[in-house]
Structure 1
Amino acid sequence: MKSSFTSMMLSHPIFYFFFMLFGIILLYIKILKPNDSTKKQEKHRFPPGPKPWPIVGNIPEMLANKPTFRWIQNIMNDLNTEIACIRLGNIHVIPVTSPSIAREILMKQDAIFASRPLNWSSEHVSLGYLTIGPSPFGQQWKKMKRVITNELASPLRLQWLHDKRAEEADNLVQYMYNQCNNGGALVDIRLAGKHYGGNLIRRLLFNKRYFGNGREDGGPGAEEVEHVEALLSVLNYLFAFSISDYVPLMREFDLDGQKEAMKKAINTLRKYHDPIIEERIRQWKNGIRTHQEDWLDVLISLKDANNNPFLTLDEIKAQIMEIMMATIDNPYNNIEWVLAEMLNQPKLLQKATEELDDVVGKERLVQESNIPKLNYIKACIREGFRLHPIVDFNIPHVSMEDTILSNYFIPKGSHILIRRQGIGQNPKVWKDPLKFKPERHLKNDGSNLTLIDPNLETFTFGTGKRSCPGITIGSTMTIMLFARLVHGFTWTTPPNEHIIDLCECVGDTSKAKPLVALGKPRLAAEVYHKLDQKKNI
Structure 2
Amino acid sequence: MASFLPSILSSDQHRIFFTALLFLLSAFLFLASKRTKSKRLNLPPGPPGWPVVGNLFQVAGSGKPFFQYVREIVAIYGPILTLKMGTRTIIIITSPELTHEALIQKGQIFANRPSENPTRKIFSANKFTVNSAVYGPAWRSLRKNMVQNMLSTSRVKEFRGVRDSAVDRLIDRLRSDADSNHGVVPVLKHVRFAVFCILVQMCFGADMDGDDIEKIDQMMKKVLITLDPRIDDFLPVLAPFFSKQRKHTMQVRDEQLKTLIPFIEARRSALKNKTAVSFSYLDTLFDLEIEGRKSAPTDDELVSLCSEFLNGGTDTTATALEWAIARLIENPEIQSRLYEEIKSTVGDRKVDEKDVEHMVYLNAVVKELLRKHPPTYFALTHAVTEPAKLGGYDIPTDANVEFFGSGIGDDPKVWSDPKVFNPDRFLSGKEDADITGVTGVKMIPFGAGRRICPGLGLGSLHINLMLARMVQEFQWRAPPSKKIMSDFREKFEFTVVMEPALQAVITARK
Q: What range is the shorter-chain TM-score in? A: 0.7 to 0.9
- What corresponds to 2:55 in structure 1? 58
- Indicate the percent of aligned positions where both proteins have the same amino acid: 25
- What corresponds to 2:241 in structure 1? 253
The answer as to whether partners of 2:183 and 2:506 remain within 8 angstroms in 1 is yes
Q: Which runs of 5+ in 2 are unaligned?
A: 1-9
The answer as to whether partners of 2:46 and 2:82 remain within 8 angstroms in 1 is yes
Q: Which runs of 5+ in 1 are unaligned?
A: 1-5, 215-220, 524-537
- Measured in 1, the distance between the counterparts of 2:112 and 2:183 equals 48
What is the TM-score with the length of structure 1 in the denominator?
0.83
What is the TM-score with the length of structure 2 in the denominator?
0.87
Pick aligned residue for 1:164 from 141, 162, 165: 162
- Measured in 1, the distance between the counterparts of 2:139 and 2:26 equals 35
Confirm or deny that 1:81 pairs with 2:78.
yes
Amino acid of the structure 2 residue aligned with 1:295? Y
Larger deviation, residues 477-486 vs 79-88 = 79-88
Give 1:510 deviation, angstroms: 1.8
Q: Deviation string for 1:152-204 (max 9, x for gaps)? A: 11222112222222221222222223334699721111111111111111111
Amino acid of the structure 2 residue aligned with 1:176? L
- What corresponds to 1:534 in structure 2? none
- Measured in 2, the distance between the counterparts of 1:317 and 1:12 equals 33
Task: Report the secondary structure of 2:198's partner residue.
Answer: helix
Confirm or deny that 1:293 pairs with 2:293.
no
Confirm or deny that 1:17 pairs with 2:21.
yes
The answer as to whether partners of 2:192 and 2:318 remain within 8 angstroms in 1 is yes
- Measured in 1, the distance between the counterparts of 2:342 and 2:136 equals 45
- What corresponds to 2:36 in structure 1? 34
The answer as to whether partners of 2:45 and 2:77 remain within 8 angstroms in 1 is no
Confirm or deny that 1:72 pairs with 2:32.
no
Amino acid of the structure 1 residue aligned with 2:195? G
Give 1:35 deviation, angstroms: 5.0
The 1:163/1:7 distance shift into structure 2, 3 A limit, reads closer
- Measured in 2, the distance between the counterparts of 1:263 and 1:504 equals 35
- Measured in 1, the distance between the counterparts of 2:324 and 2:375 equals 12
- What corresponds to 1:3 in structure 2? none
CA RMSD of superposed structures (Å): 3.2
Pick aligned residue for 1:278 from 261, 265, 269: 265
Confirm or deny that 1:414 pairs with 2:396.
no
- Measured in 1, the distance between the counterparts of 2:13 and 2:107 equals 42
- Measured in 2, the distance between the counterparts of 1:19 and 1:209 equals 55
- What corresponds to 1:439 in structure 2? 424
The 1:468/1:183 distance shift into structure 2, 3 A limit, reads closer
The 1:7/1:368 distance shift into structure 2, 3 A limit, reads closer
- What corresponds to 1:109 in structure 2? 106
Give 1:284 deviation, angstroms: 3.5
- What corresponds to 2:171 in structure 1? 173
Alignment of 1:464-475 (within 5 A): 464-475=449-460
Task: Report the secondary structure of 1:84's partner residue.
Answer: strand
Give 1:445 deviation, angstroms: 11
The 1:120/1:303 distance shift into structure 2, 3 A limit, reads closer
The answer as to whether partners of 1:97 and 1:420 remain within 8 angstroms in 2 is yes
> What number of residue pairs does the alignment pair up?
494
- What corresponds to 1:517 in structure 2? 504
- What corresponds to 2:320 in structure 1? 334
The answer as to whether partners of 2:436 and 2:449 remain within 8 angstroms in 1 is no
Give 1:343 deviation, angstroms: 0.7
The answer as to whether partners of 2:90 and 2:399 remain within 8 angstroms in 1 is yes
Give 1:278 deviation, angstroms: 2.1
The 1:200/1:269 distance shift into structure 2, 3 A limit, reads farther
Larger deviation, residues 421-430 vs 183-192 = 183-192
The 1:262/1:227 distance shift into structure 2, 3 A limit, reads farther
Give 1:22 deviation, angstroms: 5.6
Alignment of 1:234-383 (within 5 A): 234-235=223-224, 238=227, 240-254=228-242, 266-285=253-272, 287=273, 289=275, 292-300=278-286, 302=288, 310-361=296-347, 363-383=348-368
The 1:8/1:280 distance shift into structure 2, 3 A limit, reads closer
- Measured in 1, the distance between the counterparts of 2:180 and 2:383 equals 54
